Structure 1
Amino acid sequence: MKRDNATDREIAYFEAGIKLGALYHQFLGLPIDPNFIEEFEKTVERSIGSRPYVKDISVKLNREIIREAINKFGYAEVNGKMLDIVLKIRYKSEEVVVALKYDDDSGYPSLAIG
């Protein structure tokens, strides 16, 4: 398969999928202290934001879900239900926006194209 056959828009969406997949698998399971949430969000934004073609990223964790998941040691582990991510990718002249958010109906985090 050659990348030459893809449009710039298709490549932009492909890059968005790669970034979100990397983010999802890189940070899931990370212990999170309630006092560390905002710092975690900024760390993920900086990490993913430094990758090629990322124009903007917003990472928010659902604080209510985190509070409910805190164990007896005072922390929770990041899971897909907690994530609310919006990512803007620019590849050449194409700019695309995608979001990753947990879908209650499917029981799985879903990618939305906007």
Structure 2
Amino acid sequence: MVLFRRILGEVLRTARMQRGLTLREVSADARVSLGYISEIERGQKEASSELLASLCSALDLPLSDVLREVSDAVAVEELAQGLRRVESVEATPISSARTSAGDVVASAA
């Protein structure tokens, strides 16, 4: 099973370390406890959208970049675990809608 919180933590820790920042510095700037950030980086706690935005701001990193990197890492893990097929298709805009049963239906335009 691919855990989003574990991969998110790895991405955040890598970004922090690449910037040469300590947990204490990020904690002060993001106004989030050092222990909580540490738990997020270790994949033990889920980050709310507000907390994630605050961490991204403290790291001077666009939220979209973090989410893109997490998404790419999730896809790689899914491939490694055989949860996803590799298909070569042209990039096509996709729209999705929920059915009354809650299933997501996607269609290419």
TM-score w.r.t. length of structure 1: 0.24
Bigger strand fraction: 1
Structure number with larger C-alpha Rg:
2
Bigger helix fraction: 2
TM-score w.r.t. length of structure 2: 0.25
